[in-house]
Each structure stands twice: as C-alpha cells, then as structure tokens.
Amino acid sequence: MPLDYSVPGGEHLSLGVVRLPASGRRIGSLVVNPGGPGVSGIDYARAARSVVGAAVRERFDVVGFDPRGVGESAPIKCLSDARLDAFLAADPTPDSAAEQAHLERVSKEFADGCQARSGRLLAHVGTADTARDLESLRRALGEARLTYLGKSYGTFLGAIYADMYPNRVRAMVLDGAVDPALPRLRLAREQAAGFELALRTYVQACLAEQACPFRSHSLAGALAEVSSLLRRTDSHPLPSTAGSDPSVDPETRERDGGTGSAKSDVEPSEVRKASEALATLGLLTPLYDRNSWPELTETLRQAFAGDSTLLLRNADNLTGRQDDGTYTNQTEANLAINCADGPYPHNPNAYATRESPRFGPSITWSYLPCAYWPTPPTLTNKPVKAHGAAPILIIGTTRDPATPYRWSQTLANELDSAHLLTYNGDGHTAYANGSPCVDTQVDTYLLTTTTPPDGTICPGPG
C-alpha cells in the first residue's frame, strides 16, 4: 500500500492479512475488524469460530487485517516499555498544579516519542487512509463489492469507507457504533458516561446477590465504596500479592538504558502496585462484557482487601502489557490513530472534567498526548451519509458501556441507507455475544443482504 496515497509511486508499506476459507459453498469474503483502534484484525479473524456465525463461515472466507500502524502492519512505536509503564500509571485526577504538570510532561513525552520513533508514519495512520487500504484489499480479494463486519472503532472505519466508496458496499454490519460527527473529547466524555451506567447496572445486579463484595446494601453506598477505593490508590498505590514483577520498575529500567527488559538481579520484594490510573482501568475492563461481571466481583473483593493482582491483570489486558512486562503496540497505535482522526484542543485544561466521576477524568486525560501531536488531523468531525450505498445494518446495545446506544441511533440517522437493530441488554457489542435473536438477524443479512424490519428490538437475557 502507498504510505501516502497522494504519492502513489512513493514509499509503500505492507499490511498483514489472514484468511479463513469458507467451509462450504462460497459466496465471497467477509472482512472483519474488532475495533480498538489498535486491536489486531488478524487475531480476530483467527478467532472467527467464536466471532462469526457458523452459517456465515460456511459461505464466506473470513478475512482479517492489521490496519496500518497496528501489529503486523508497520506498527507505531513511541516509548520504551518502562516509559509506557510510567505513562499509563500517571495520575488521571491531578489535584494540584504539580500533578497536572507531571501529566502534561509524560503526555508530551509520548507524542515526542511517537515522532522520534515513527515520525514517517504518523500522518498516514488515520482512518481515512485505512479505508483506502480496505478498498485496496477488496480489489485484491477479487470482490465486486465489500462485505464487512466492524465492531466498536470498526464501525467508524466502516462508516468512513462507505462514505468514500458507497457503490462498493454489498453488506456492512456496524456493531456498537461510533458517531463520526461528535468532537473527540465529547466522544470521550460520553464514553465515560457509558461506563458509569454500566457500573451502576453491575452494582444493582450485584446487590441482589448474596456474594456481593460491598459492605453497603444501597446503590449510592456501593458506588461510594468504589470511589473510596480509587481515592485510596491515588494517594497510596495498591500492591499486588502475585509475587515479584518480572519487569523492573520504571526508574530502575531507565537507569539500565530504558530497554524495558528485566535484569537478573531484580529483588524478590519488587512488586507492582496499582496507581489510580491502573486501578480505574482494572475496574473498567470487566465492564465491557456482562459475562465478566463475576470477575469484577472478585476483582473488587480482592482490591477491598488490599490486593491489586486482578486490577493489574485487567488493566494489562486492556493496554497490551504482557506477562514479561513488555507491551504490544496496542496502546501506541490506539493513540496515534485517535490523534489523527480529528482535532483535539491544545489547551491541557480542556481535558479536565467533573463528569462521570469514577471514569470521566481517566478517559478524557488519556487523550492529552493529542494536544501535543506533531502532525495535523486527517479527518474532521462531521456526519457521514454514504449516499447510494446498499442497506447497512447498525446494531446498538441499550447499555453498551464503550459505545453508548445513542451513537448507534445517531449514525443510523446520518447514513442514508442504514437500518438499526436494537439489543436491549448490557455489554459492548451484541453479535456473537449470546443473543440468538441478534445472531439470526445478522447472519440472515450477511447471507442475503435482507435487513431486519425497522424498529426490531432483540431482548436481553431473562
């Protein structure tokens, strides 16, 4: 693929692609994207048996690719593992000028590191260029029109593609939609509100069970306990009892040259601790999936007892930190793509918020590197129409924590040919997540291009 599509004869980059062949009489190729941005589409396609219905796998090759800047496709790199540890652990609720100055410093360090290590890529990893890659992939697959399944950020990619190439759409499922028209920090604040709603829903369900870890028996009291836990980690990071950390703490690794590799003389007493930032991620991660609520219960029980082992494990799953202390490039790619996809304020004070008190500050401040980004955005925040596209199926979950239901409603109104399927339930995205109603409607649409009747609502469990 051209690094810069305006210079097609210039430098090129390679994209990693994988295909699972159809098991029966083939219709064509289904290209899948799991979201992120920064999550591997290759890994997603390799898990196709759990993310795509059997009837669809029988008739379609399932194709996944790592978008440019991600995984096996010219990955963005910005910081050493040690400095990523420090960046991710930085206080997301600065209470003083000194704390905010530290957050500004590590955020600028992140942006500067991306420029130093991946500068030639930064202007070319936005979603508009990935949509052009998707069109090149369609042609390489020999498909007259694209059949596509995108979840979360993958809906944003799909919507941008459909707007750029409306006549090339055969069928497109956008599950857990992102609204392209929303300003970037408003997206962050509304996402935080979605996680607050998910937490409240979880707590209400938990309080109805005998094994709930809260001392209080009221919603307000239990939420106050969560807030108290996070405040405690703000001033006193919570240690893990999982044993010594296989990686060295950031200061030690910086003394050793910032390689991010463990030294053989690490003292057994060196254990990781959950700062407020990591504790917040550790609580947020199980809220993505209702099936992970029992894990959240155990995470809270452990944290209330003073142990951050599960908090840290959950946070690591979300940020791409591996057991040996090294990172995939998931976090770096996520920020690089987000910073390219729309204008962000340059004033750090714009990232402060009092909304959604348990998640709002952490989520909005996490985008502060975009205030210092060295390249201009390649997209503006505006509605997409995709005029002339074939019918597009959008799925919205009423209590989706990461992509609030209203975003699916709005995108369905923006796209000329969109049809909205509603799942009345919890969790992030709905297809292949336990709803036979959703699965049947999506499989039928992918196989036949027939959309569900407008206003169709699939019930949640119970």
Q: What is the CATH number of the domain that holds 135?
A: 3.40.50.1820
How many Cβ atoms from other residues are within 10 Å of residue 47's Cβ?
15
Q: Pick the closest to residue 378 from 114, 194, 74, 125 (CA basis).
A: 125
Q: Above pLDDT 90, what percent of the chain?
A: 91
Whether 324 is a known active-site residue: answer: no
Both 37 and 147 in one domain: the answer is: yes
Residue 187: per-residue pLDDT:
96
Question: Does the pLDDT of residue 249 top 70, yes or no?
Answer: no
Question: Would you state the pLDDT for residue 258?
Answer: 37
pLDDT attached to residue 300? 98
Q: Verify whether residue 4 is a known catalytic residue.
A: no
Q: State whether 351 and 254 are in the same domain.
A: yes
Asked whether residue 188 is domain-assigned, the answer is no
Helix (H, G, I), strand (E, B) or coil at 293: helix
pLDDT at residue 211, rounded to an integer: 86
7 found inside a domain: no
Residues 226 and 367 reside in one and the same domain: yes
User: Looking at the domain assignment, is residue 391 inside a domain?
Assistant: yes
Residues 272 and 232 in one domain: yes
Mean pLDDT of the chain: 93
On whether residue 196 sits in a domain, the answer given is no
Ramachandran category for residue 260: left, alpha or beta (phi over 0 → left; psi -120 to 50 → alpha) = left
Same domain, 66 and 162: yes
Q: Name the pTM for this structure.
A: 0.92
If we measure between CA atoms, which residue out of 159, 174, 97, 101 comes closest to residue 128? 159
Considering the domain architecture, whether residues 32 and 170 belong to the same structural domain is answered as yes
Looking at the predicted structure, is the pLDDT value of residue 107 above 60? yes
**pLDDT at 349 > cutoff 90:** yes
Q: Based on the fold, state whether residues 110 and 21 are members of the same structural domain.
A: no
Which of the following is catalytic: 428, 435, 439, 443?
A: 428
Asked whether residue 371 carries a pLDDT value surpassing 60, the answer given is: yes
Residue 435's domain spans which residues? 17-73+124-181+382-459
Task: Clarify whether residues 300 and 175 are in a common domain.
Answer: no
Spot the catalytic one: 91, 400, 439, 443.
400
More confident residue, 260 or 410: 410
Which candidate in 40, 107, 152, 275 is catalytic? 152
| Whole-number pLDDT of residue 270 | 67
Q: Looking at residue 462, what is its pLDDT? A: 63
Confidence of residue 264 (pLDDT cuts 50, 70, 90): very low
Q: Which of 333, 361, 380 is the last residue of a domain?
A: 380
Total tally of structural domains belonging to the chain: 2
Q: Is-catalytic flag, 152? A: yes
